[in-house]
Amino acid sequence: DIQMTQSPSTLSASVGDRVTLTCRASQSFNSWLAWYQQKPGKAPKLLIYKASNLQSGVPSRFSGSGSGTKFTLTISSLQPDDFASYYCQQYFSFPYTFGEGTKLEIK
């Protein structure tokens, strides 16, 4: 199975900050990576697919990049609604695996 490792596990930031979350894979693959946002008590919400494609309706301050074993999710200017947990998921190979998540907290 491909192991997905996210860092940091917790990130403290302020409204207006630019933040970058990292997801590393135990095996190399092209762009078969998705990012999700999850708020407490809610289901995950798809933000990015195929590493850099913005899901419809997601604000343009979110962007994704990467290939191989390192992928990043960047939020260009944090808004109050962005404080949540973020998960990456690889869908390059079965079984489809998720990272452990990064919790984005208000500083």
Per CB under 8 A, residues contacting another protein are 32, 34, 42-46, 49, 55, 87, 89, 91, 94-101
Of the two residues 78 and 89, which places its CB atom closer to another protein in the complex? 89
With respect to another protein, which residue has the nearer C-beta, 73 or 78? 73
CB of 49 to another protein, least distance (A): 6
| Structure-token pair, residue 104 | 């984005």
* CA pair distance 18, 15, nearest whole angstrom: 9
**What is the C-alpha to C-alpha distance for residues 95 and 30, in angstroms, rounded to an integer?**
16
User: Is 16 or 41 the residue whose CB approaches another protein more closely?
Assistant: 41
CB of 22 to another protein, least distance (A): 16
Q: CB neighbours of 75 closer than 8 A, spacing ≥ 6?
A: 18, 19, 61, 62, 82
